[in-house]
Structure 1
Amino acid sequence: MNNEEYYDFEKTPDIHYYEFSSIGPKGSIRKVIQFQQINLEENIYNLGFGDFCPETQEISDLITTNNLDTKKVLSTVARAVIDFMTLHPNAIVMAKGSTQARTRLYQMGISEFWDEIKEMFEVKGFYKDSWESFRKGKNYDAFFIFKK
């Protein structure tokens, strides 16, 4: 991850909002990452990620851009998670895609950067109604990420 290409992002820390542009054959696509607290007691934040839709002024997590920069986008999301977790070391980040394909994309990102991730974070995967330590090659339905 340290040597991976990524996009620079702008952030608004008070609302846990990160924004960057994906650049590729489809042009410049505005991407948004937002961490939304979903459990106050356990300090759990949902990782929201998608394209900003100028028409609706909303973030869509259902659009598939295919801008041929998946690895760079995943690297950027990973850096945003690291930044967020550095600012909020007691937070737990939950990552679950809006579709199975999107959840697989998160899994690909975790697997791709696993050697670096496991040094900084504990990752749990949700499999068959329970949470377990993440293992590469196993398909999970959701992920919890927290600092070691």
Structure 2
Amino acid sequence: MANLSDAYKTQEIKLPIGYKLMFTSEGPDNIIKAVQYTYVRKFEGRNVYNLGFGDYDPQFDHIIDQAKSNNGDAYKVFRTVLSTIPPFFENFPEAIIMVQGSDSRTDFAEKCRETCIRRCTKVCRKFNQRITLYRNYVEKNFQVLGLHYWFLGGFLRENRSLTTELYIPGRLYDAILFFRK
């Protein structure tokens, strides 16, 4: 992985069907964040875990994955999320991680328009921003990451099922899946 030394310290919590890591985003506010790996299904004999991330609501033990904190530390938060991947694979060496953007859901644009100040007309400019961020990271670091991980690109079909192929840099995917070599 890229240089992840400038990341927040995480606290690890093992779950019956997954794995959660907590940390505090430090900026104008101290915001508790959580990265959670949740079992989704089997694929090619391996367990697939969705990487979920967002602000943590301790009252309901819930991750708010569409939160935008604007706490001034976005790069450090992103590096922290990335830094949870190697420890996850230490605990689940045969697993597959799946990354999707919470802003890729079919109803996202409609919900965004209710509160967005941008007033997008035809295409919501926030739609697919998060998967684009992950995809850009993979593309920028593909040669190095490819030494350690196999990558698949995923396309969501109308029935919400996922079709996968070997990852092709430059292609627009709805999901990225990867596992250790």
Could you tell me the TM-score, scaled by structure 2's length? 0.70
Q: 2:51 aligns with which of 39, 43, 47?
A: 47
- Residues 1:102 and 2:130 aligned together: yes
CA deviations on 1:16-56 (whole Å, 9 max, x unpaired) are 1101111223x211110111111145311111111113454
Secondary structure of the 1:139 match is coil
Question: Larger Rg: 1 or 2?
Answer: 2
Match of 1:111 in 2: 139
Q: Supply the distance in 2 between the matched residues of 1:52 and 1:134 (Cα, whole angstroms).
A: 31
| 2:151 pairs with 1:147 | no
The residue type paired with residue 10 of structure 1 is Q
- Determine the C-alpha separation between the residues in 1 that align with 2:140 and 2:11: 24
Q: CA deviation at 1:60?
A: 0.4
Structure 1 residues 141 and 84 mapped into 2: Cα distance closer, same or farther (>3 Å)?
same
Corresponding position of 1:84: 88
Instruction: Measure the CA separation in 1 of the matches of 2:31 and 2:141.
Output: 24
Measured in 1, the distance between the counterparts of 2:144 and 2:79 equals 12
Question: Among residues 70, 88, 109, which one is paired with 1:66 in the alignment?
Answer: 70
Which deviates more from structure 2 when the two are superposed, residues 135-144 or residues 124-133?
Answer: 124-133
- 8 Å CA contact 2:4–2:80 kept in 1: the answer is no
Q: CA deviation at 1:140?
A: 1.4
User: Unaligned stretches of 5+ in structure 1?
Assistant: none
CA displacement 1:117-139 (0-9 Å, x = unmatched): 22211111124864233344432
Structure 2 counterpart of 1:134, from 167, 174, 180: 167
The C-alpha deviation readout for 1:91-114, integer Å capped at 9, x for no partner, is 011111111222222223333443
Structure 2 CA distance, aligned partners of 1:57 and 1:96?
21
Decide whether the 8 Å contact of 2:21 with 2:84 is kept in 1: yes
Distance of aligned partners of 1:116 and 1:24 in 2 relative to their CA distance in 1, 3 Å threshold? farther
Q: Which residue pairs with 1:24 in the alignment? A: 27
**1:48 partner letter:** G
The 3-state SS of whatever aligns with 2:179 is strand
Cα 1:6/1:114, change in 2 over 3 Å? farther
SS of residue paired to 1:83: helix
Alpha-carbon distance in 2 for matches of 1:3, 1:60: 24
Number of aligned residues: 147
Cα distance change, pair 109–72 in 1 and its aligned pair in 2 (3 A)? farther
**In 2: Cα distance, 1:67 partner to 1:119 partner:** 34
Provide the C-alpha distance between the structure 1 equivalents of 2:155 and 2:51, rounded to a whole number of angstroms.
Answer: 19
